[in-house]
Amino acid sequence: MISKHILLPTDFSSNARNAIDYGITLFSKEECVFYVLNAFEVGASGLSSTMGKAKNTRLYRAIKEESKRNVTSLLEELNTNSNNPLHKFEGLSLSDSLLHAVGKTIIDYSISYVFMGSKGSSAIKEVFIGSSTVSVIKHIDFCRLVVVPENYSFQIPKQIAFATNFEHVYSKIELVPLFNLASLWDSEIVIVHVHKGKELTQQQKTCKNILVERLDGICLSFIEVPGASKVSDTIQLFTSEHTDVGMIAMVNYWHSFFNKLTTENVINRVAFQTKVPFLVFPLIDP
């Protein structure tokens, strides 16, 4: 069996730890190597000359040692708590921005999934909290990301809600993360279509039929959801009314149907507001 490589970024907060615990539990049946990553910066970010000078300072050395100690401590805790022979843990402490560190680690270690926490949904919090997670969603468009809400306790995802408008012909390889996660716990995939009272075009019908073919072998259902003023609000309302939904899934492409119709950035808003884990996986251009 080939191990999955899972990235677990952390700032050692309870929010990050909750996302780590969720990822470990979600893949409890799979052979995995989990990489616990802490990224730290000293000095003005983005200025290479400043960063170079910062690395020669006592402050830099102190922060670096603290990062390494905390990563080692967390690894010891995870190894102590884990009695799963399928799981291995490795630590990484990188002097870089979180975004650069995550991108580099994904490439260097062939990462399959990244798990990150996201806090709160108030308008004020959206400005200040979760910016790191949103930055990763926006710029790391070549890896699967699972956003885990603050204080979310693991529940078997009986259903995974996949929001789509049938505007894209999904390839089999694009749907691998959705297929794999549904297979882990025998989850049903619920295809959620937010409609505005118009019938599907012929192109949308074709895309829908191909999607059914691509997900052959998985328990599948379709639900039409009347659209509210904000697509993200519609998706959140749907998940709150369907308690078996243990995960939301969307494809990360910025010029999607949702963003063409609305001024909201649906993926960002869902990431902030979601009460269940949110899987964002990349669009693969043909």
The string of pLDDT tens digits covering residues 95-143 is 999 999 999 999 999 999 999 998 644 444 444 335 688 888 888 889 9
For the chain, what's the residue count? 286
Asked if 160 and 178 touch (Cβ cutoff 8 Å), the reply is yes
pLDDT tens string 209-232: 999 999 999 999 999 988 766 778
Cα-based distances in Å from 280 to 49, 87, 117: 35, 24, 13
Side chain identity at residue 63, one-letter code = I
Asked if 32 and 86 touch (Cβ cutoff 8 Å), the reply is yes
Query: Can you give the pLDDT at residue 126?
Result: 42
Domains (ranges, CATH) in the chain?
A: 4-149 (3.40.50.620), 159-279 (3.40.50.620)
**28 burial class (0-12, 13-18, 19+ CB within 10 angstroms)?**
middle
Asked if 209 and 246 touch (Cβ cutoff 8 Å), the reply is no
Q: Which of 250, 230, 16, 7 is nearest to 119 (CA)?
A: 16
Query: Can you give the pLDDT at residue 55?
Result: 66
Mean pLDDT of the chain: 85
Residues of the chain above pLDDT 90, percent: 59
The pLDDT confidence band at residue 265, using thresholds 50, 70 and 90, is: confident
160 CB contacts (<8 Å, ≥6 apart)? 178, 181, 182, 187, 188, 189, 190, 245, 246, 247, 248, 249, 279
Query: Can you give the pLDDT at residue 47?
Result: 45
- Across the strands, what pairs with 148? 117
Query: Can you give the pLDDT at residue 267?
Result: 78
Residue 13 DSSP label: -
Query: Can you give the pLDDT at residue 122?
Result: 42
Burial 202-212 (b: 16+ CB within 10 A, else e): eebeebbeebe
Task: Measure the CA angle with vertex 217, ends 158 and 112; round to 5°.
Answer: 70
Query: Can you give the pLDDT at residue 125?
Result: 43
pLDDT tens string 148-204: 998 899 999 999 999 988 988 999 999 999 999 999 999 999 999 988 778 899 999
Query: Can you give the pLDDT at residue 283?
Result: 82
Cα-based distances in Å from 115 to 19, 30, 183: 6, 16, 19
Side chain identity at residue 128, one-letter code = F
Asked if 25 and 87 touch (Cβ cutoff 8 Å), the reply is no
The pLDDT confidence band at residue 285, using thresholds 50, 70 and 90, is: low
Instruction: Tell me the pTM.
Output: 0.88
- In this structure, the number of other CB atoms found within 10 A of the CB of residue 253 comes to 17
